[in-house]
Structure 1
Amino acid sequence: MRDFSAINRLSFSHGPTPLEAAPRLSNALDCKVYFKRDDCTGLAGGGNKTRKLEYLVADAQEKGADTLVTIGGLQSNHARQSAAIAAKLGLRCELVLEDVPNTPKADYYKNGNLLLDQLLGANIHRLGEGEDAQLYSEALMSKLVEQGAKPYLIPIGGSNVIGALGYVRCAFEIVKQLEQQQLEIDQIILASGSAGTQAGLLAGLIASGSSIKVLGINVSRTAEQQSALVCDLLEQVLEYLEIDKSLAQGVVHTNGDYFGSGYGVPTEQMISAVKRCAALEGVLLDPVYTGKAMAGFMDLVSKKEIAAGSKQLFLHTGGAQGLFAYSEVFSA
């Protein structure tokens, strides 16, 4: 394996983030539940994308970039954290943000992450439903170059090999915390979207020699589609780390039963899970990622597909800032 500590990284997160027990939720679900609190990474409200951006923006600086460009939905947590890091470093930030069909609109266009993007000084390019954000961003990159800027395009969700290194590092952190707390975990559960968090986490566990299972609850794709996406990126990360990529076989597990009618579209199970987690643990989930992942977790426990008494670590990837854009579904 290549020397991981030698890979260039900027330091923005408040880490290591806590790994803590959730006793009231554990009692309610009849299994031992722990949270890995990556909602507490710190920068402009925190979240999992900060870990990815520590590596991506280090790469951008190595390449002399003065402008960060990235893509997301109008309420993208990734966009917020990209804008925050750009502000911290004095870089220009261009956010290409797509409207998401069938999302509640009362606060969607003026609150939550979008409000924070504006406060952080990002230039926002709003696209309507159906517009091609990738083509728009490529044209924007060309325009910026013509203007004399040095732009760096960060992929959606920060999910490429470089971004996934943030969750390789997180896996090392989790393994160390489990050893320090003398805990044994049966499974890590997380929301799985652009694949970088799950792929990086799996690569880090493989590199650590850990056999902990990882289950991704998908936020926009079927299990077959998402597993293929995660496996492909996992193989790339292992190859980059100079680890046998055949170790990716058989370790990717995803579930596509809980995203409802689409990305960012509320479900009754998500609303219930967010409210329940807040009331039992004082932990705020989000409506797009962690809320749906927790809904899946709770349902799998109720179906006994997750065994009573098992030890489950829920990776909280942040995003509570998005609750304010979805206020109408929680106050109804």
Structure 2
Amino acid sequence: MGISNYLTGSRIRCHAIIVCDQTKAYFYDHIDQTRVDMGLADSVKAVEIVDMIEGYQGKGYNISTKEERDFVASVAETTGIMLDPIYTGKAALGMLQELHDNPHRFKGNRILFLHTGGLFGMYNGQLNTTIADREQKNIINMWTSTESTCTD
């Protein structure tokens, strides 16, 4: 995304919340190699077009904390937006924490969060207990639930 944003001439800064065990150096190298592979070796370097933010991998791949699962459930309840607990939920929570803790990092007052997938992570059962334990548990039903909230 950073490369395409740059190629359009956009001055918008891209930020990436790293939620896996890789470092920002790994991702910068990957972007720079992609740039070379595309024939853009003489253009701007990855570090100039993407701000990599580390520290939001949590306990690791496919392991979510109660806070992360509660956040995912809360977003679903209040907005209807489904985030998975493996990547996208961690990234959205990390972005909100960065907006709170480091607001100077982001310029302007409009932020676009790109939800890049992970929907299948919703169906691995990881959120079942979280949803069942929430006070408003009738708002969200797991797809495996036998209870129906639809009426004719």
- TM value normalised by structure 2: 0.72
Q: Work out whether residues 270 and 294 of structure 1, in 8 Å CA contact, stay in contact via their aligned partners in 2.
A: no
Q: Please name the residue that 1:101 is paired with.
A: none
Q: Does residue 215 in structure 1 map to residue 15 in structure 2?
A: yes
Following the alignment from structure 1 to structure 2, what is the Cα–Cα distance between the partners of residues 314 and 214?
Answer: 10
Change (3 A) 1:304 1:232: closer
Q: Deviations over 1:31-79 (max 9, x none)?
A: xxxxxxxxxxxxxxxxxxxxxxxxxxxxxxxxxxxxxxxxxxxxxxxxx
Inter-partner Cα distance in structure 1 for 2:107 and 2:70:
21
**Counterpart Cα distance in 2 of 1:246 and 1:310:** 29
Q: 2:85 aligns with which of 278, 287, 300?
A: 287
* Distance change (3 Å), C-alpha of 1:268 and 1:280: same
Distance 1:308 1:272 in 2: 29
Matched, 1:253 2:68: no
The aligned amino acid for 2:4 is G
For 1:307 and 1:255, locate their aligned partners in 2 and report how far apart those are by CA, in whole Å: 12
Task: Report the equivalent of 1:203.
Answer: 3
The match for 1:56 is: none
**RMSD of equivalent CA atoms:** 2.3
> CA 1:307 to 1:234, structure 2 compared with 1: closer, same or farther past 3 Å?
closer
Check the 8 A contact 1:217/1:254 in 2, yes or no: yes
Q: Which residue of 2 aligns with 1:322?
A: 121
> How many Å separate the matches in 2 of 1:247 and 1:329?
47
Letter in 1 for 2:77: A
Q: Is the 8 A contact 1:230 1:252 kept in 2?
A: no
What SS is found at the alignment partner of 2:15?
strand
Contact 1:207 1:243 in 2 (8 A): no
Match of 1:300? 98
Runs (5+) with no aligned partner, structure 1: 1-200
1:315 Cα deviation from its structure 2 partner: 0.6
Q: 2:38 aligns with which of 215, 237, 241?
A: 241
CA separation of 1:307 and 1:317: change in aligned 2, threshold 3 A = closer
Q: Tell me which amino acid in the other structure corresponds to 1:202.
A: G
1:263 to 61, 65, 79: 61
**How much does 1:289 deviate?**
0.8
Q: Is 1:270–1:287's contact at 8 Å kept on the other side of the alignment?
A: yes
Is contact 2:72-2:83 (8 Å) kept?
yes
Q: Determine the structure 2 residue equivalent to 1:226.
A: 23
**What is the letter of the counterpart of residue 238 of structure 1?**
R
Q: Cα–Cα, structure 1 residues 230 and 268, in superposed 2: closer, same or farther, change >3 Å?
A: same
Q: Which has the higher strand share?
A: 1
Matched residues, number: 129
Give the partner amino acid of 1:293.
A
Aligned residue number for residue 69 of structure 1: none
By percentage of residues, which structure has more helix?
1
**Alpha-carbon offset, residue 274 of structure 1:** 0.9
Deviation track 1:95-142 (CA, whole Å, cap 9, x = no partner) reads: xxxxxxxxxxxxxxxxxxxxxxxxxxxxxxxxxxxxxxxxxxxxxxxx
Letter in 2 for 1:211: R
Is the 8 Å Cα contact of residues 286 and 320 (structure 1) preserved in structure 2? Answer: yes
